[in-house]
Amino acid sequence: MNAVPRPQASPAHGSRLAALNDWVAEVAALTRPDAIHWCDGSDAEYASLLEGMVAEGTLLPLNQQTHPGCYLHRSDPDDVARVEHLTFVCTRERDDAGPNNHWMPPADAHAKMDALFDGCMRGRTLYVVPYCMGPIDSPLARCGVEITDSPYVVANMRLMTRMGVDALSRIEREGADGKVFVRGLHSTGELDPERRFIMHFPEDLAIKSFGSGYGGNALLGKKCHALRLASWQARQEGWLAEHMLILGLETPAGDTHYIAAAFPSACGKTNLAMLIPPASYRAKGWKVTTVGDDICWMHPGEDGRLWAINPEAGYFGVAPGTSAKTNPNALAMIQRDTIYTNVAVTDDNQPWWEGLDDRVPAFDWQGRPFDPANGPAAHPNARFTVRARQCPSWSPRAEDPQGVPISAIVFGGRRSTLVPLVFEARDWTHGVQVGASMGSETTAAATGAVGVMRRDPMAMKPFCGYHFGDYFAHWLSFDKPGAKLPKIFHVNWFRKGEDGKFLWPGFGENIRVLEWMVARVDGSVVSGEDSDIGLLPTRTQLDLDDIALATEDLDRLLGIEHDAWAVERDAAVADLNAYGVRLPVGLGSSDPA
User: What is the distance between the alpha carbons of residues 296 and 226, in angstroms, rounded to a whole number?
Assistant: 9
Q: Is residue 184 pLDDT above 60, yes or no?
A: yes
CA distances from 236 to 121, 202, 229, 230, 466 (A): 35, 11, 11, 10, 11
Pairwise pLDDT comparison (454 vs 210), residue with the higher score: 210
Confidence of residue 12 (pLDDT cuts 50, 70, 90): low
Name the burial class of residue 369, with classes exposed (0-12), middle (13-18) and buried (19+) by CB atoms within 10 angstroms of its CB.
exposed
Could you tell me the pLDDT band of residue 384, with boundaries at 50, 70 and 90? Answer: very high
Residues flagged as binding site for Mn(2+): 223, 243, 294
Average pLDDT over residues 547-575: 91
The binding site comprises 82, 214-216, 223, 243, 265-271, 294, 381-383, 414, 507-510
Q: β-pairing, 102-103 with 487-491?
A: unpaired
pLDDT band at residue 13, thresholds of 50, 70 and 90? low
B/e letters for 402-420, b = 16+ CB within 10 Å, e = fewer, are: ebbbbbbbbbbbbbbeebb
Which class is domain 241-314+394-589? alpha beta
Contact yes or no for 431/511 (Cβ under 8 A): no
* Active-site residue, selected from the candidate residues 39, 90, 120, 267: 267
Q: What type of residue is 455?
A: R
Q: CB count, 10 Å around CB of 454?
A: 14
Q: What is the pLDDT of residues 131-140, one digit of tens each?
A: 999 999 999 9
Q: Return the pLDDT at 591.
A: 46
Rounded Cα distance between 512 and 182, Å, is: 41
Q: Give the pLDDT confidence score for residue 135 in this predicted structure.
A: 98
Which residues is 536 bridged to in the sheet? Answer: 529
What is the chain's mean pLDDT, rounded?
Answer: 94
Whether 1 has a pLDDT exceeding 80, the answer reads no
Q: How confident is the model at residue 14 (pLDDT cuts 50, 70, 90)?
A: low
User: Which pLDDT does position 3 carry in this prediction?
Assistant: 43
348 CB burial (10 A radius; 0-12, 13-18, 19+): exposed
16 pLDDT higher than 70: no
Q: Which long-range contacts (CB under 8 A, 24 or more apart) does 213-216 make?
A: 213/75, 213/76, 213/79, 213/150, 213/152, 213/153, 213/188, 214/75, 214/79, 214/80, 214/81, 214/82, 215/156, 215/316, 215/341, 215/383, 215/385, 216/81, 216/82, 216/445
Q: What is the pLDDT of residues 399-415, one digit of tens each?
A: 999 999 999 999 999 99
Backbone angles phi, psi at 591, to 5 degrees: -75, 125
How many of the other CB atoms lie within 10 Å of CB of 289?
23
What is the pairing mode between strands 125-133 and 35-38? parallel
Quick one: average pLDDT of 296-310?
Answer: 98
Confidence grade of residue 8 (pLDDT, cut at 50, 70, 90): very low
Which of 108-122, 151-165, 257-271, 273-287 has the weakest average pLDDT? 257-271
- As a whole-number percent, the residues of the chain with pLDDT over 70 amount to 95
Specify burial of residue 107 (Cβ count, 10 A radius: 0-12, 13-18, 19+): exposed
Q: Is 155's pLDDT higher than 80?
A: yes
Q: Specify the amino acid at residue 126.
A: L
Residue 447: is its pLDDT beyond 80?
no
Say how far apart CA 518 and CA 521 lie, in whole Å: 5
- Distance of alpha carbon 32 from alpha carbon 118, whole angstroms: 8
* Beta pairing, strands 487-491 & 404-412: parallel
Q: Domains of the chain: which residue ranges? A: 15-57+83-237, 241-314+394-589
Contact 220, 206 (CB under 8 A): no
Confidence of residue 588 (pLDDT cuts 50, 70, 90): confident
Q: Which residue has the higher pLDDT, 427 or 2?
A: 427
Give yes or no for a contact between 273 and 292, defined as CB atoms under 8 angstroms apart: yes
- Give pLDDT, residue 4: 44
Phi then psi for 584, rounded to 5 degrees? -55, 140
Whether pLDDT at 289 is above 90 = yes
Q: What is the mean pLDDT of residues 163-171?
A: 97
**Could you read off the pLDDT of 65-118 as tens digits, one per residue?**
999 999 999 999 999 999 999 999 999 999 999 999 999 999 999 999 999 999
Contact 323, 166 (CB under 8 A): no
DSSP 421: S
What does the pLDDT read at residue 592? 45
Question: Active-site residue 267, yes or no?
Answer: yes
CA distance 395 to 398: 6
Beta bridge partners of 441: 453
- Residue 171 neighbours by CB under 8 Å, 6+ apart: 17, 20, 130, 143, 145, 181
pTM of the model: 0.95
Q: Does domain 15-57+83-237 have CATH number 3.40.1280.10?
A: no
Q: What residues are designated binding site for GTP?
A: 266-271, 383, 414, 507-510
Q: Let me know: does 16 contact 175? Beta carbons within 8 Å.
A: yes
